[in-house]
């Protein structure tokens, strides 16, 4: 089996194995052939295949048993999927040959093989490799689970839900396929698109069949079984053309209305000397009826032809109405009746391909704090407010612009740049919206993109506008921001670095170095701070200031942080074995890592597995972490202290700490930030802040250490001020574990000059 890509030495069997709550003996095999659901398991771990098959093999889902297809790598799955048919569900490991092999395979399944029906469930034993939200949405991923979540019952529930979804999708696909066959194989009538066109075509076909002029109306009745008599005209022609799209009962047309009501009541055709009414049986308590004037009585042959015609057309009317509803549901927002995201992308693609691109601008309009209004006043109120916003945007900006609702509380405006004007759009929100007699004041934030500066497709333009919107929201609410190429480069660079970091972590390009910490009185080493470094394959170093935020954003920091903790603890044990007993190891903890629900468990396991003495292990957290949600932090620090590990606040003095909370925090040491150490000799303010931190530590009974000490003058001033410890280039630069061992055994024994 391929080795794990993470550098962790401990095998996490308790996280990677499927856990079964209860087992039942397999049912005896049936001798009667049955239809099956085909489930494909793609995983490089043979145990996952066997445990999954064992968990689900004797169970029926949706009245069918399961049949399993096995692939042990992404490449093998690619070849198999070219030939395998009727796969309902794919259980796919995220990390196989490469850390993103699973997601590449999903893209291949959806985009290359065009397999849209199959349901995909991602599984991973490494939570740090979670897919991005965009990947889950864009590649139609049904579910994402860590393997430790998948008990037998949860696995059964997840797969059952996926099979139900697959079954429904197949039914819809089969129905659409039948509609396509009807449209392409039927007569000229069946090739007409839209309910109104189809209905008008029915009137024309009836008239043509009878050799008459088309003077009539075709109506739909929504609820004939409940006694409803409201007829709505779908199409009208000739002398009845004024009835189109109107309620027939509201007009002074008793001859037409009475004839239709009689036909609907009796559910059969009626033929008169000067008019006919035809009944088309619809589905789901709906019925259609047509009224046509004639200039003669029909022959028996014509009546029989119309009976056959009505039977065929009734199905067509139902289907064409269904297609119309599907079209509206697919391309229009059901609440506001505006074009939705899908339709907007189509319009953007057409605009980008035409001359209108040169002067067009797309603006996203995000309602500020709408969620709070929705929660406070109720979802129905919120829906009415969204409808009011849609109506104002559409009515005030003019018909030349395209107004769409792309989701939630975000609208879009597309059109000529002179009209898609930020000031003009924001001005629309200066007047309150009146909902149920209550005035609601809203503001909006805009993200805009000039299509003339855009080279991609409509979906890309929408993403660029969203990037601009996020930038606008990060700067100020009720403002706007235009997308620029530099912003796109920044986003792409972040994504590139995220993938590179994952690869680097898997290929051991990351390593830990140690910067010694010195007793200023004796100039002897008393500890070291573990620092993470990244050197690329071509020898270049990537700054932690660049890759640590990316690791936090992607979730990779969880696995990286645990690896650093274990590595530092093992080095501490090695140093103690070499005779350096009274030596403290300081380990930085990211905010994302610290907030992980299993952080405390990770710490305890690292201490237990490595044998590191907790009284010589120190965790460093930043001042901003200490001041954010301090009550929760106080509880967490108390649990950490119970392990015997000590706590230091890094970069102290750079934030705005509350001294009352600082007293309640169970911390052991303050670190003076390098900026204040530099000021000791390089600023008119001198040592004021450093001296304050030292005095504060003394008053609270806390140890103090200064970082970033680079010259002897700084070291002497700090020592005079009462600072006991320091680290910096004056004493030693960060060094590898081997170099640290040698340094402690040689140079450090004689003191640092």
Q: Using pLDDT thresholds of 50, 70 and 90, give the confidence band for residue 572.
A: very high
What is the model's pLDDT at position 327? 52
Q: How confident is the model over 251-279, as pLDDT tens digits?
A: 667 888 889 889 988 989 999 989 999 98
CATH of the domain at 299: 3.30.450.40
Q: Using pLDDT thresholds of 50, 70 and 90, give the confidence band for residue 369.
A: confident
Average pLDDT for 534-561: 88
Q: Which of 52-56, 119-123, 481-485 has the lowest mean pLDDT?
A: 481-485
**Domain co-membership, 311 together with 351:** no
**Domain co-membership, 320 together with 356:** no
> Which phi-psi region, left, alpha or beta, contains residue 438 (left: φ > 0; alpha: ψ -120 to 50)?
beta
Q: Pick from 549, 561, 563: which is nearest to 594 by CA?
A: 561
Q: Pick from 37, 36, 39: which is nearest to 53 by CA?
A: 39
Q: How far is residue 162 CA from its own chain's centroid?
A: 19
Domain that holds residue 74: 13-178
Residue 504 lies in a domain: no
Task: Compute CA distances 10 → 509, 541, 603, whole Å.
Answer: 19, 28, 14
Q: Are 39 and 89 a contacting pair, CB within 8 Å?
A: yes
**Domain co-membership, 614 together with 735:** yes
pLDDT at 234 over 90: no
Q: How confident is the model over 695-716, as pLDDT tens digits?
A: 988 988 899 999 999 999 999 9
Of 178, 205, 238, the one marking the end of a domain is 178
Instruction: Check residue 615 and report its DSSP letter.
Output: G
DSSP 384-398: HHHHHHHHHHHHHH-
Q: Are 133 and 23 a contacting pair, CB within 8 Å?
A: no
Cα–Cα distance measured from residue 327 to residue 653, given in angstroms and rounded to the nearest whole number: 60
pLDDT at 233 over 90: no
CATH of the domain at 446: 3.30.70.270
What kind and span of H or E run contains 435? strand 433-435
Which tokens in the block code for residue 385?
Answer: 């407010």
What is the model's pLDDT at position 684? 55
Residue 49 lies in a domain: yes
What is the model's pLDDT at position 21? 35
- In terms of DSSP bridges, do strands 360-367 and 444-450 run parallel, antiparallel, or are they unpaired? antiparallel
Of 278, 298, 331, the one marking the end of a domain is 331
Q: Using pLDDT thresholds of 50, 70 and 90, give the confidence band for residue 132.
A: low
CATH of the domain at 61: 3.40.50.2300
Of 483, 500, 530, the one marking the end of a domain is 483
**Domain co-membership, 389 together with 537:** no
**Domain co-membership, 728 together with 582:** yes
What is the model's pLDDT at position 26? 36
**Domain co-membership, 86 together with 138:** yes
CATH of the domain at 739: 3.20.20.450
User: What average pLDDT does the structure give for the chain?
Assistant: 81
pLDDT at 605 over 90: yes
Which tokens in the block code for residue 676?
Answer: 């204040």
Residue 249: which residues within 8 A CB-CB, separation 6 or more? 229, 230, 231, 257
Q: Pick from 61, 37, 34, 39: which is nearest to 49 by CA?
A: 39
Angle at 105 between CA 104 and CA 110, to 5 degrees: 100
Cα–Cα distance measured from residue 408 to residue 228, given in angstroms and rounded to the nearest whole number: 36
What is the model's pLDDT at position 187? 46
pLDDT at 176 over 60: no
Which tokens in the block code for residue 612?
Answer: 């590191």
**Domain co-membership, 255 together with 353:** no
**Domain co-membership, 272 together with 147:** no
Cα–Cα distance measured from residue 297 to residue 276, given in angstroms and rounded to the nearest whole number: 9
Cα–Cα distance measured from residue 304 to residue 404, given in angstroms and rounded to the nearest whole number: 49
**Domain co-membership, 366 together with 393:** yes
- β-partners of residue 144 are 122
- In terms of DSSP bridges, do strands 438-440 and 433-435 run parallel, antiparallel, or are they unpaired? antiparallel
Which tokens in the block code for residue 737?
Answer: 């574990």
Selection from 334-343, 651-660, 720-729 with the highest mean pLDDT? 720-729
Cα–Cα distance measured from residue 693 to residue 672, given in angstroms and rounded to the nearest whole number: 7
Instruction: Check residue 521 and report its DSSP letter.
Output: T
Half-sphere exposure of 508 (CA within 13 A, CB side): 6
- Which 3-state string (H, E, C) describes 616-673? HEEEEEEHHHHHCCHHHHHHHHHHHHCCCCEEEEEEECCCCCCHHHHHHCCCCEEEEC
Helix (H, G, I), strand (E, B) or coil at 553: helix
Cα–Cα distance measured from residue 27 to residue 288, given in angstroms and rounded to the nearest whole number: 52
Average pLDDT for 90-113: 87
- In terms of DSSP bridges, do strands 270-271 and 275-281 run parallel, antiparallel, or are they unpaired? antiparallel
Residue 508 lies in a domain: no
How many domains does the chain fold into?
Answer: 4
**Domain co-membership, 174 together with 195:** no
Residue 659 lies in a domain: yes
Q: Which comes out higher in pLDDT, residue 236 or 414?
A: 414
Q: Are 289 and 297 a contacting pair, CB within 8 Å?
A: no
Q: Which of 403-412, 450-459, 721-730 has the lowest mean pLDDT?
A: 450-459
Residue 501 lies in a domain: no
Query: How deeply is 324 buried, as exposed, middle or buried, from its count of CB atoms within 10 A (0-12, 13-18, 19+)?
Result: middle
Angle at 440 between CA 438 and CA 443, to 5 degrees: 170
What kind and span of H or E run contains 406? strand 402-407
Q: How confident is the model over 277-319, as pLDDT tens digits?
A: 998 876 655 678 889 999 888 877 678 777 777 777 766 666 6
Residue 183 lies in a domain: no
Q: Using pLDDT thresholds of 50, 70 and 90, give the confidence band for residue 660.
A: low
Strands of 162-224 (E only): list them. 216-221
Q: How confident is the model over 491-516, as pLDDT tens digits?
A: 677 778 888 899 999 888 999 999 99
**Domain co-membership, 661 together with 568:** yes
**Domain co-membership, 195 together with 173:** no
Q: Using pLDDT thresholds of 50, 70 and 90, give the confidence band for residue 248.
A: low
Q: Which of 8-12, 205-209, 294-298, 716-720 has the lowest mean pLDDT?
A: 8-12
Q: Pick from 47, 51, 89, 94: which is nearest to 74 by CA?
A: 94
Calculate Rg over the CA atoms of the chain: 36
pLDDT at 733 over 50: yes
Average pLDDT for 57-61: 85
Q: Are 498 and 553 a contacting pair, CB within 8 Å?
A: yes
Residue 490 lies in a domain: no
Residue 492 lies in a domain: no
Alpha helices in 186-253 (DSSP H): 195-210
Q: Report percent pLDDT > 70 for the chain.
A: 80
Average pLDDT for 388-395: 90
Q: Are 373 and 440 a contacting pair, CB within 8 Å?
A: yes
Q: Using pLDDT thresholds of 50, 70 and 90, give the confidence band for residue 367.
A: very high
What is the model's pLDDT at position 3? 34
Q: Map tokens 């009505």 to a residue.
A: 310
A 10 A CB-CB count for 712 gives 10
């Amino acid at each position: 089996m391929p080795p794990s890509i993470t550098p962790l030495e401990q095998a996490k069997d308790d996280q990677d194995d499927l856990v079964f709550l209860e087992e039942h003996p397999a049912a005896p095999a049936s001798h009667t052939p049955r239809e099956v659901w085909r489930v494909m398991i793609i995983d490089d771990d043979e145990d996952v295949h066997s445990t999954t098959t064992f968990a689900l093999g004797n169970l029926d889902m949706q009245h069918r048993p399961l049949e399993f297809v096995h692939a042990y790598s992404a490449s093998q799955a690619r070849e198999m999927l070219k030939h395998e048919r009727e796969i309902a569900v794919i259980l796919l490991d995220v990390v196989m040959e490469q850390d993103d092999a699973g997601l590449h395979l999903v893209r291949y399944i959806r985009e290359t093989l065009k397999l849209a029906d199959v349901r995909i469930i991602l599984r991973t034993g490494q939570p740090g490799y979670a897919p991005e939200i965009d990947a889950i949405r864009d590649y139609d991923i049904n579910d994402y689970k860590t393997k430790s979540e998948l008990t037998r019952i949860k696995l059964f529930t997840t797969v059952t839900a996926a099979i139900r979804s697959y079954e429904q999708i197949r039914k819809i696909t089969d129905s659409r396929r039948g509609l396509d066959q009807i449209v392409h194989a039927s007569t000229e009538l069946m090739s007409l698109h839209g309910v109104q066109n189809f209905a008008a075509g029915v009137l024309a076909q009836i008239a043509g069949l009878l050799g008459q002029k088309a003077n009539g109306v075709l109506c739909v009745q929504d609820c004939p079984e409940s006694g409803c008599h409201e007829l709505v005209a779908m199409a009208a022609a000739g002398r009845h053309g004024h009835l189109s799209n109107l309620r027939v009962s509201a007009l002074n047309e008793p001859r037409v209305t009475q004839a239709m009501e009689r036909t609907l009541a009796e559910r059969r055709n009626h033929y008169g000397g000067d008019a006919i009414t035809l009944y088309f049986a619809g589905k789901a308590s709906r019925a259609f009826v047509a009224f046509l004037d004639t200039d003669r009585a029909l022959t028996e042959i014509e009546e029989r032809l119309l009976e056959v015609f009505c039977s065929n057309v009734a199905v067509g009317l139902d289907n064409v109405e269904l297609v119309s509803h599907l079209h509206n549901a697919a391309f229009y927002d059901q609440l506001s009746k505006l074009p939705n995201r899908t339709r907007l992308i189509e319009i953007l693609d057409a605009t980008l391909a035409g001359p209108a691109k040169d002067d067009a601008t797309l603006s996203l309009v995000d309602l500020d704090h709408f969620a709070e209004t929705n929660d406070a006043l109720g979802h129905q109120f919120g829906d009415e407010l969204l409808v009011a916003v849609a109506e104002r945007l559409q009515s005030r900006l003019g018909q030349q612009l395209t107004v769409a609702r792309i989701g939630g509380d975000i609208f879009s405006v597309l059109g000529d740049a002179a009209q898609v004007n930020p000031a003009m759009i924001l001005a629309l929100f200066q007047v309150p919206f009146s909902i149920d007699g209550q005035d609601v004041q809203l503001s909006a934030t805009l993200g805009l993109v000039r299509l003339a500066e855009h080279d991609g497709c409509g979906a890309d333009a929408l993403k660029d506008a969203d990037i601009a919107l996020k930038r606008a929201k990060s700067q100020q609410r009720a403002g706007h921001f235009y997308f620029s190429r530099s912003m796109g480069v920044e986003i792409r660079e972040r994504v590139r670095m995220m993938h590179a970091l994952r690869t680097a972590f898997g290929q051991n390009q990351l390593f830990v170095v140690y910067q010694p910490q010195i007793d200023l009185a004796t100039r002897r080493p008393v500890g070291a701070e573990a620092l993470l470094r990244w050197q690329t394959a071509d020898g270049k170093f990537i700054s932690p200031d660049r890759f640590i935020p990316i690791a936090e954003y992607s979730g990779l920091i969880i696995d990286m942080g645990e690896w650093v903790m274990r590595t530092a603890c093992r080095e501490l044990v090695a140093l103690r074995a070499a005779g350096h007993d009274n030596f403290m190891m300081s380990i930085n903890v990211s905010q994302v890592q610290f907030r992980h629900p299993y952080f405390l468990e990770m710490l305890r396991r690292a201490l237990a597995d490595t044998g590191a003495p907790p009284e010589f292990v120190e965790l460093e957290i930043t001042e901003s972490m200490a001041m954010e949600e301090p009550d929760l932090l106080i509880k967490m620090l108390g649990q950490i202290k119970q392990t015997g590990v000590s706590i230091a606040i890094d970069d102290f003095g750079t934030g705005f700490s509350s001294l009352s909370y600082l007293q309640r925090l169970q911390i052991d040491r303050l670190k003076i930030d390098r900026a204040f150490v530099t000021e000791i000799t390089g600023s008119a303010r001198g040592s004021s802040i450093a001296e304050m931190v030292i005095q504060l530590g003394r008053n609270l009974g806390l140890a103090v250490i200064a970082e970033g000490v680079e010259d002897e003058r700084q070291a002497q001033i700090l020592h005079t001020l009462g600072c006991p410890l320091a680290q910096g280039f004056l004493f030693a630069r960060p060094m590898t574990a081997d170099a640290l061992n040698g340094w402690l055994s040689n140079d450090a024994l004689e003191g640092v000059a």
